[in-house]
Amino acid sequence: MMKRKYSGFKIPVIVTILVLALVTALVVINDIKSTSKPTNTDKQLSIEGQPTIGQSDAPVEIVEFGDFKCPACKKWGETIYPQLVADYVETGKAKFSYINVLFHGEESRLASLAAESVYMQRPESYWEFHKALFAEQPDQDHDGLWITNEKINEVAETVPGIDVKQLENDLDEPSVMEEVDQDESLVKEFGIEQTPSIIVNGQMLENPFDYEEIQSLIEEEIEGE
C-alpha cells in the first residue's frame, strides 16, 4: 500500500516539473527572440566609392559586408538578394552596396582586388562579374583553392565589356589596393565578425536570412522618412 501511495505521489510531481521546465523554455525562447533585433551601429557608414545599385536618393541604404569565399554569402546572394532587389531597389525604395571582407586570407584578397578592378574599369560590368565569380564557388570544399588568377580571367572573359588584359595589370595597381584596404578598415571599424553582415540604415540585422525582418526594418525606415 505504501508503495502504491508513493507512486501516485510521484506522478503530479513529475507533471509539475515538466510544466515548470516548459515555462522556463518558453521564457528563454522569448528572451532570445526579444534580443534578436537589429543592432544600431551608432556610426555613419559611408558608401562613397562602393559598388552601389539603386537610385542615389533612395530613402533606405542597405549594405552587405561579404566575402567571395563565404558559402553563406553565396547562398544569401542566390536567395535573399534577388527578392530584395525586386521589392525595394528596382522600386526606388532602397539602394544596395557591397563591401569586401577578407576573412579567408589571400583568396579573399585576390577576389576583392579583381572585383574592385572591374568596378574601376567598367562599373556597369561589376555586378555581373560579382555574380559570376560567386557562381564559381564550389558547392563542396569551398575552403579549397579555387580563386586564382586563371579563374578570375576565365570569369572576366564571360562578362561583356571587361578588358581582361587591363584587369590583369590593375590587380597590382596601388589605387586598387587602396580600395580593398579601405574595405578592411570598415570591417574593423564596424566590428564585422561574420559574413554576410547586412546593415539597413545603420542597423545591423541579427539574422540576414530572415527576409521578414529585413522587410519590417525597411518599411519602418520608409515610414519614418
pLDDT in tens, 5-54: 334 444 544 444 444 444 344 433 333 333 345 677 667 799 999 999 99
Indicate the pLDDT class of residue 89, thresholds 50, 70 and 90.
very high
Give the mean model confidence (pLDDT) for residues 179-192.
96
180 inside domain: yes
Give the mean model confidence (pLDDT) for residues 167-177.
95
**215 neighbors 54 (Cβ within 8 angstroms):** no
Instruction: Work out how many domains the chain is built from and give that number.
Output: 1
Q: Note the pLDDT of residue 31.
A: 38
87 pLDDT higher than 80: yes
9 inside domain: no
What 8-state DSSP symbol labels residue 183? H
Q: Note the pLDDT of residue 40.
A: 74
Give the mean model confidence (pLDDT) for residues 110-129.
98
Q: Give the N- to C-terminal CA distance of the chain in Å, as an integer.
A: 74
Indicate the pLDDT class of residue 170, thresholds 50, 70 and 90.
very high
161 inside domain: yes
pTM of the entire structure?
0.81
**177 neighbors 115 (Cβ within 8 angstroms):** no
177 inside domain: yes
Q: How many CA atoms lie within 13 Å of 166's alpha carbon, on the beta-carbon side?
A: 12
Residue bearing the bigger pLDDT, 147 or 21: 147
- Domain limits for position 118: 40-223
Please report the sign of the dihedral spanned by the C-alpha atoms of residue 197, residue 187, residue 155, residue 142. Answer: negative
CATH of the domain at 152: 3.40.30.10
Q: Note the pLDDT of residue 39.
A: 77
What's the chain's average pLDDT?
86
% of the chain residues with pLDDT over 70? 82
**185 neighbors 55 (Cβ within 8 angstroms):** no
149 inside domain: yes
137 pLDDT higher than 50: yes
State the Cα–Cα distance between residues 61 and 47, nearest whole angstrom. 9
Q: Note the pLDDT of residue 141.
A: 81
